[in-house]
């Protein structure tokens, strides 16, 4: 029998490359590549393998026990960040499972399956840190109910999850496609792309006192950057495939969502940093969130920008470059990364 040629695949009638096709069940036909960008991101994600339990927590445990090392304010930051991540990382996994019913392109689904696995690692990180520091599990896992600034962020995100799970949700009409676009914007751009960043910056600013937590956050951040890149490309591809999708009204609505997200994030920073901690205060997060929001809107070719476009934490880009830092500190090499994918500027 003759081997299959590329052209045989190209004649395949069952693959269109459409992001929101009709077929929501069935086989995942990867080839021929029609959304190669999604496949490439899957390969990059796979090259970033890591495991929370490989990272030693001895120094963090010592710091947690000593009143001289961590102040009460710093402890509050750690507990609140864990509380926020405990709720939201699990929400991200659930959102992906809901969206997987509607995003039918096989290469996008391949990436999303990989992302779900990475979100499992992020959930594992919270469990591992709770165990290592013997944190009050109820305090961490019920923060999304009991801490108003966290509850507000989670309620804001969950409203859009409810839409996708509504029995009347559909993606056949242009209105339905707009609703899916809005949900995807909420998940990848607001939740992962905006809400996570203040927590990352707060924990990474304490790297020397809690190196184990900080290292796990660095790996998480490296994963999240690919998630955001995927979400941005997914949204842009949808926009190209369905030219009627984007309207001035939808862009206004998404811009307002982004502005509300920045407000919620700044309120959260004030709650978590009532007096500031070494080198950080809540007002810096206003600048940071506006800077991040500008990058996200830019990625989606939307018009809105905050006028003050300044990154108060330029050191965040160093923290993302794990390999460079490892060489610098000569610590245990747990970096599986085999190709250079860290070229973003924040
Ligand atoms: Mn995550
Ligand atoms: Fe993520």
- How much distance in Å is there from the Cα of 277 to the middle of ligand 2? 27
What does the DSSP assignment read for 159-190? HHHHHHHSTT--SSSHHHHHHHHHHHIIIIII
- Closest-lying ligand to the alpha carbon of 188? 2
Query: Which residues place a Cβ less than 5 A from the ion ligand 1?
Result: 89, 119, 122
- ω into residue 189 within 30 of 0, thus cis? no
Question: What pLDDT, on a 0 to 100 scale, did the predictor assign at position 223?
Answer: 95
Residue 281 per-residue DSSP state: -
Tens-digit pLDDT string for the chain (346 aa): 454 444 444 555 668 899 999 876 678 889 999 999 999 999 999 999 999 999 999 999 999 999 899 999 999 999 999 999 998 888 888 899 999 889 999 999 999 999 999 999 999 999 999 999 999 999 999 999 999 999 999 999 888 777 888 999 999 999 999 999 999 999 999 999 999 888 999 999 999 999 999 999 999 999 999 999 999 999 999 999 999 999 999 999 999 999 999 999 999 999 988 887 777 888 899 999 999 999 999 999 999 999 999 999 988 877 766 655 554 444 444 444 433 333 344 4
Question: What pLDDT, on a 0 to 100 scale, did the predictor assign at position 283?
Answer: 86
Q: Which two tokens stand for residue 335?
A: 């970096």
- How much distance in Å is there from the Cα of 231 to the middle of ligand 1? 13
Digit-coded pLDDT (tens) for 74-110: 999 999 999 999 988 888 888 999 998 899 999 999 9
Give the closest residue to 89 by CA, choosing from 64, 120, 128: 120
- In CATH terms, 60-320 corresponds, of 2.60.40.10, 1.20.120.450, 1.10.620.20, 2.40.110.20, to 1.10.620.20
CA angle 150, 311, 182 (to 5 degrees): 50
- How much distance in Å is there from the Cα of 113 to the middle of ligand 1? 13
Digit-coded pLDDT (tens) for 290-324: 999 999 999 999 999 999 999 999 888 777 666 55
- Closest-lying ligand to the alpha carbon of 225? 2
Dist. CA 126–CA 141, nearest whole Å: 10
Question: What pLDDT, on a 0 to 100 scale, did the predictor assign at position 322?
Answer: 62
Model confidence, pTM: 0.90
- How much distance in Å is there from the Cα of 8 to the middle of ligand 2? 36
Residues with Cβ within 8 Å of 153's Cβ and at least 6 positions away in sequence, in order, are 84, 88, 195, 264, 265, 268
Distances (CA, A) of 136 to 32, 82, 83, 151, 336: 50, 11, 10, 18, 33
- How much distance in Å is there from the Cα of 92 to the middle of ligand 2? 7
- Closest-lying ligand to the alpha carbon of 220? 1
Name the residues annotated as catalytic.
128
Domain spans of the chain, in order of start: 60-320
Q: Is 277 helix (H, G, I), strand (E, B) or coil?
A: strand
Q: Which two tokens stand for residue 30?
A: 């990867």
Dist. CA 152–CA 146, nearest whole Å: 10
């Amino acid at each position: 029998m003759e081997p299959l040629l590329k052209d045989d695949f190209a004649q395949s009638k069952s693959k269109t490359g459409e992001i929101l096709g009709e077929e929501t069940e069935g086989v995942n036909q990867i080839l021929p590549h029609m959304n190669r960008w999604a496949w490439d991101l899957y390969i990059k994600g796979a090259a970033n393998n890591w495991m929370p339990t490989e990272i030693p927590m001895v120094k963090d445990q010592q710091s947690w026990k000593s009143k001289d090392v961590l102040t009460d304010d710093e402890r509050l930051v750690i507990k609140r960040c864990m509380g926020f991540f405990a709720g939201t990382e699990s929400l991200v996994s659930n959102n992906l499972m809901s969206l997987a019913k509607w995003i039918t392109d096989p290469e996008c689904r391949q990436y999303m399956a990989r992302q779900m696995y990475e979100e499992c690692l992020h959930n594992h990180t919270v469990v591992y840190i709770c165990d290592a520091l013997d944190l009050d599990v109820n305090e961490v896992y019920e923060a999304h109910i009991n801490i108003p600034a966290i509850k507000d962020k989670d309620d804001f995100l969950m409203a859009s999850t409810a839409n996708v799970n509504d029995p009347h949700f559909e993606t056949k009409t242009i209105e339905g496609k707009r609703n899916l676009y809005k949900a995807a914007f909420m998940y990848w751009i607001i939740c992962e792309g905006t809400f996570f960043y203040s927590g990352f910056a707060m924990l990474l600013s304490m790297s020397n006192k809690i190196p184990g937590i900080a290292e796990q956050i660095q790996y998480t951040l490296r994963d999240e950057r690919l998630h955001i890149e995927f979400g941005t490309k997914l949204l842009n591809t949808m926009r190209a495939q369905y030219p009627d999708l984007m309207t001035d009204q939808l862009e206004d609505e998404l811009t307002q969502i982004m502005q509300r997200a920045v407000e919620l994030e700044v309120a959260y920073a004030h709650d978590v940093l009532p007096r500031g901690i070494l080198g950080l205060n809540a007002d810096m997060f206003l600048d940071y969130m506006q800077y991040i929001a500008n990058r996200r809107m830019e990625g989606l070719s939307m018009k809105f920008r905050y006028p003050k476009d300044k990154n108060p934490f330029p050191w965040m880009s160093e923290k993302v470059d794990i390999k460079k830092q490892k060489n610098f500190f000569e610590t245990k090499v747990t970096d599986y990364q085999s190709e250079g994918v860290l070229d973003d500027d924040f």
